[in-house]
Amino acid sequence: MKYIKTKYFHKWAKKNEITDYVLFESIKEFQEGLFEAHLGHKLYKKRVAAKGKGKSGSTRTILFYEKDQKIIFCFGFAKNVADNLDNDDKLLLYRLAKDFEKLNLNQMERLINTGSFIEIIMER
């Protein structure tokens, strides 16, 4: 199983002080069935607490999940910026999900090596 984030998501998470440790904890919760919404196309909305804030008033992430293969964090937003995704955002994410679904392990490794994807590493 690969746990990765897109370059875009990585920059957003860094700006919002969301560490890989926090993402790893949210992955564990997600795998236990704790997430806010299934958006279709293997996309899920998951709350993640930003530094010094609780989950409910903090940030939302969108992740792609393919069972026993990969979890890819692809989009994040603060709740105070938007409560939900609009239709244009969803369409863009659905297109992205199609591309994510086609990726095999070798392709993901290449994307990690080029910096397009960043592997989520457990840290404190």
Cα distance between residue 61 and residue 91, in whole Å: 16
Q: What pLDDT, on the 0 to 100 scale, is given for residue 123?
A: 58
Q: What pLDDT, on the 0 to 100 scale, is given for residue 78?
A: 86
Q: How many domains does the chain have?
A: 1
Q: Which mean pLDDT values do the consecutive 10-residue runs of the chain (124 residues) have?
A: 96 93 94 95 93 73 96 90 82 96 96 96 65
Cα torsion 14, 16, 20, 24: sign:
negative
Q: What pLDDT, on the 0 to 100 scale, is given for residue 49?
A: 85
Q: What pLDDT, on the 0 to 100 scale, is given for residue 57?
A: 63
Domain range spanning residue 57?
Answer: 2-119
Cα torsion 10, 97, 22, 36: sign:
positive
User: Residue 80: which of 23, 16, 1 has the closest Cα?
Assistant: 16
Q: What pLDDT, on the 0 to 100 scale, is given for residue 109?
A: 96
Cα distance between residue 12 and residue 18, in whole Å: 9
